[in-house]
Amino acid sequence: MKILRTVKDLRLWRSTHKTLGMVPTMGALHAGHLDLVSQSLKNNSATLLSVFVNPSQFAPHEDLDKYPRTFDEDVAKFRARAIEIWGAQAVENTDGLAVFCPKVEEIYPSGIDLRVSHQKGTFVEVLGVSHQLEGKIRPQFFRGVATVVTKLLNAAQPTRAYFGQKDVQQTVVVRQMVRDLLMPVEIVVCPTAREPNGLALSSRNVYLSEEEKEKMSVIYKALHRAQQRAQQALNENKSLSSSEVVNGVMELLATEDAIIDEVEYVSLNHPDDFAEVDEISKGTILSLAVKLSNGVRLIDNVVI
């Protein structure tokens, strides 16, 4: 398995492979990331995992410095998953597995200041899908994501790039960006991996105690119950308003108001342009974000 630290080395390695699957991550890998890795391993002759904690998607007050970094374990998990899918012999003999873990200077040659007003150089903004929900709470987040994904895709030029449904608005932003900038890559979105109790896996779950994780299973319970109710209404050709669905979710979340400090949003949006919808239809995205009393934010979503 190759460990690539520069764009130059990445391009050299890339040039020897016909099809490439890429899994962009910020590391601290969990089973959700590894599901994306599995999909890539199954469908491409070479797979690149990128591990880069991208400064430009963090606001100055956010957790960039304390974001979990577990590089050696990440490489070991990638390797173990490759052995599971390809077999030990194939993994020993291949040149088709690599981890790209550049330094910040490699990705931001002009430097990067977390204060947007102080930034210099080129940034990518995807208008229309970046300002609502996550973009409202974290105004520089999608600008940072779109910028780094552009840089990573330009550097690696993968055939396919794999993203998680867990960050549904991010998938809408990336798809739109790839379409608008005529990028020759197929975006593949994989289902959300969850704890047995339903809590969506996230690198930031390490900030939660076991008790908090158990209590936060209420998030998926609320989403799942709303999803079933909405599907039943659709099956029976009954109309169901967004506000009825939102109220149902809020009611269940309120049962854990001792540790949920704030429900930042519960929203129903169109899957293509992420516009808010008043009436539910098939494919509508129900998503939410909560802030816990210990400061941790959790997001999750289901598709109706």
- Residue whose CB is nearest to ligand AMP in the complex, by number: 164
- Structure tokens belonging to residue 131: 């300002």
Q: Verify binding: residue 167, ligand AMP, rule CB under 6 A.
A: yes
Q: CA 197 to CA 113: how far, in whole Å? A: 39
Binds ligand AMP by CB under 6 A, chosen from 146, 200, 226, 245? 200
For the bound state, the minimum distance from the C-beta of residue 299 to ligand AMP, rounded and expressed in Å, comes to: 10
Cβ at position 192, least distance to ligand AMP in Å: 4
* Closest CB to ligand AMP among residues 97, 193: 193
Q: Catalogue the E-assigned strands of the chain.
A: 2-4, 20-25, 46-51, 97-100, 160-164, 186-190, 260-269, 285-292, 297-303
163 binds ligand AMP (CB under 6 A): yes
Task: Select the residue interacting with ligand AMP from 4, 14, 22, 25 (CB under 6 A).
Answer: 25
- Contact present, 155 and 162 (Cβ < 8 Å): no
Q: Which of 33, 118, 224, 270 is catalytic?
A: 33
**Phi–psi pair at 290, nearest 5 degrees:** -125, 150
| 287 lines the binding site for ligand AMP (CB under 6 A) | no
The rounded distance, in Å, linking the Cα atoms of 276 and 156 is: 35
Number of residues that bind ligand AMP (CB under 6 A): 17
Stretch that binds ligand AMP, among 99-107, 109-117, 193-201, 277-285 (CB under 6 A): 193-201
Q: Is residue 204 classed exposed, middle or buried when 0-12, 13-18 and 19+ CB atoms within 10 A define those classes?
A: middle
Given its phi and psi angles, is residue 257 left (phi above 0), alpha (psi -120 to 50 degrees) or beta?
A: alpha
216 sits near ligand AMP (criterion: CB under 6 A) = no
Residue 166 touches ligand AMP, criterion: CB under 6 A: yes
| Known active-site residue 33 | yes
Q: Of 295, 264, 268, whose CA–CA distance to 284 is shortest?
A: 268
Among 32, 102, 135, 144, binds ligand AMP (CB under 6 A): 32
The contact set with ligand AMP (CB under 6 A) reads 25-26, 32-33, 35-36, 163-164, 166-167, 190, 192-193, 200-203
